[in-house]
Amino acid sequence: MDAALPGEDLVRQGLTDLASGMQTEAALLVSIGAPRLRRLGLLVPVALPDPEHRLYARLVERGPEAAHSRYNALLRRLVSFERALACAR
């Protein structure tokens, strides 16, 4: 991966967590983006099932009043990374 792309830290963490079998927010986010990330040339481990709903449910557990905005912010970071990576290639 290229250095210093927006959201790269989160994607790197998600890839590491997926490879370790962890079901973290970052791993769920990378699972959401797995098809596009693979098309962009990243080696993405097997994605977790139903990542959209599972990520949102996890965010609700942490704080229901902010879950929607946190979910959207995480998706924006993923999309920013995907777009930046596509431009860098």
pLDDT, block means (10 residues), the chain with 89 residues: 82 97 97 98 96 97 95 98 93
Structure tokens at 70: 């946190």
The pLDDT score that the predictor gives to residue 89 is: 80
Domain ranges of the chain: 8-88
pLDDT digit string, tens, across residues 40-61: 999 999 999 999 999 999 999 9
Look at residue 2 in the predicted model and tell me its pLDDT.
Answer: 46
Specify the pTM.
0.93
